[in-house]
Amino acid sequence: MTVVLGFEGSANKIGVGIIRDGEVLSNPRRTYITPPGQGFLPSDTARHHRAVILTVLKEALEQAGLKPADIDCVAYTKGPGMGAPLVTVALVARTVAQLWGKPLLGVNHCIGHIEMGRLITNANNPTVLYVSGGNTQVIAYSERRYRIFGETIDIAVGNCLDRFARVIKISNDPSPGYNIEQMAKKGSQYVELPYTVKGMDVSFSGILSYIEEAAHKMLSSGQCTAEDLCFSLQVRHNTQYAQLSKTLCNLRLQEMMGVMCKERGAKLFATDERFCIDNGAMIAQAGWEMFRSGQVTELEDSWITQRYRTDEVEVTWRD
């Protein structure tokens, strides 16, 4: 049996997970949360990760009931992501691998999400809609690569929501997107917002620029409420979500995907917050697949890269 330990820390979450032949043995994580109106800076996020990463590692081993000797491989997020947090995690993973005498594997963050989704949902060959703070892509496997068939041409939809939350100072706990979704349920007035779709690709910078400029004027004049803006943004994003669905972790998006799939005789596979939110187990699972196919990362090659596209990785573990 092959046991892989995975470190994830590409953004504001630090996680350590352990996978044994498709079984999640442990998956603890911590989230760096900033005050309302503030994003998370790379240096501060890295400082948070450094403060807790060894505690999370200890928790992962204890929850799994394993010792370092039981681990066969150490995997870590190579990228994409924020530079300073990625470096923090890579350094710890390199150190642990050397201290324990284990092989090391650098994993693409996006492929970690894909492989975790395939494991949890038992979807053998899915078309993937990957929506996160830093990425918006429609992906499918073909000829030893995960091919990108459509993507954002500027910012990701999650980043758009995060930055909107800062404008009207919505809480970051547990996440800006979740809190926007809850506030949207209390809104009733629709404010017209622009959006752009370009073939298989989408754009979110225009809607963000508009709402950043207009929000304070509309709120201070009483033209609408913060809940109305959240409602309007959700409605407008629903239009873009529909486009993403047709070109093929928000609950509304999952609902729309379910309707789209039913209309077309397809099946929807979705993961819950344990595995769709950044976590160490997804890096361990992708590392497990890579390690079993004969891949390892030599120490001199164990760098990080902030821009690491999904389709750059040769998928050696699938037919």
| pLDDT (0 to 100) of residue 139 | 94
Q: What is the dihedral of CA 45, 49, 51, 57, to 10 degrees?
A: 170
151 in the same domain as 280 = no
pLDDT at residue 304 greater than cutoff 50: yes
Structural domain includes residue 310: no
| pLDDT (0 to 100) of residue 248 | 47
CATH of the domain at 225: 3.30.420.40
260 in the same domain as 137 = yes
pLDDT at residue 309 greater than cutoff 70: yes
Q: Is 177 marked as a binding-site residue? A: yes
Q: Total structural domains in the chain?
A: 2
Structural domain includes residue 287: yes
pLDDT at residue 246 greater than cutoff 70: no
280 in the same domain as 213 = no
Q: Is 319 marked as a binding-site residue? A: no
Q: Is 162 marked as a binding-site residue? A: yes
Q: Is 178 marked as a binding-site residue? A: no
Helix H or strand E encompassing 100: helix 83-100
Confidence of residue 271 (pLDDT cuts 50, 70, 90): confident
234 in the same domain as 134 = yes
| pLDDT (0 to 100) of residue 132 | 84
89 in the same domain as 187 = no
d(CA 170, CA 94): 37
Structural domain includes residue 224: yes
- Reference 83, options 56, 116, 44, 141; nearest CA is 44
Structural domain includes residue 311: no
249 in the same domain as 279 = no
Which of residues 56 and 247 earns the better pLDDT score?
A: 56
| pLDDT (0 to 100) of residue 267 | 87
Q: Is 301 marked as a binding-site residue? A: no
Q: Is 134 marked as a binding-site residue? A: yes
Q: Is 106 marked as a binding-site residue? A: no
Q: Is 206 marked as a binding-site residue? A: no
Structural domain of residue 252, as residue ranges?
127-264
216 in the same domain as 164 = yes
89 in the same domain as 162 = no
Mean pLDDT of the chain: 91
Q: Is 133 marked as a binding-site residue? A: yes
Average pLDDT over residues 93-115: 98
pLDDT at residue 181 greater than cutoff 50: yes
pLDDT at residue 128 greater than cutoff 60: yes
